[in-house]
């Protein structure tokens, strides 16, 4: 495998997305950010189809767990 060490090039990973079935509508949403199991198009509210897209990996927020139970 060819490993590149350029820091300004984010690593692209094949990511599951839902994209709009309407060819005129370019909207899509990452599956992990989808509001529902079968999300509707965020733009035209039409049906979406499952697909893949090469996207930069989303950095997991390490500080997401705030302890508010005090
Ligand atoms: Zn749409």
- Report how far ligand 1's centroid is from the alpha carbon of 11 (Å): 27
What pLDDT is recorded for position 58? Answer: 75
DSSP letters, the chain, are ------TTSPPEEEEEEEEES-TT---EEEGGG-SSSSPPPTTT---EEEEEEEEEPPPPPGGG------
The reply to whether 32 falls in a domain is yes
Band of pLDDT at residue 4, cut at 50, 70 and 90: low
Q: Distance, CA 27 to ligand 1 centroid (Å)?
A: 5
Alpha carbon of 49 to ligand 1 centroid (Å) = 11
Residue 9 confidence (pLDDT): 77
Task: State how many domains the chain has.
Answer: 1
Q: Note the pLDDT of residue 23.
A: 93
Q: Is residue 62 part of a domain?
A: no
Rounded to the nearest angstrom, the distance between the alpha carbon of 46 and the centre of ligand 1 is 5
Report the pLDDT value the prediction gives residue 35, as an integer from 0 to 100: 83
Question: pLDDT of 5-33, one tens digit each?
Answer: 666 777 899 999 999 999 999 999 999 98
Q: Residue 26 C-alpha to ligand 1 middle, in angstroms? A: 7
């Amino acid at each position: 495998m060819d490993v590149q060490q350029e820091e300004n090039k984010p690593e692209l990973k094949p990511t599951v997305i839902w994209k709009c079935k309407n060819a005129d509508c370019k909207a899509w949403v990452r599956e992990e950010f989808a509001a529902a199991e079968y999300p509707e198009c965020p733009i035209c509210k039409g049906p979406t189809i499952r697909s893949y897209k090469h996207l930069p990996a989303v950095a997991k927020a390490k500080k997401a767990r705030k302890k508010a139970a005090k």
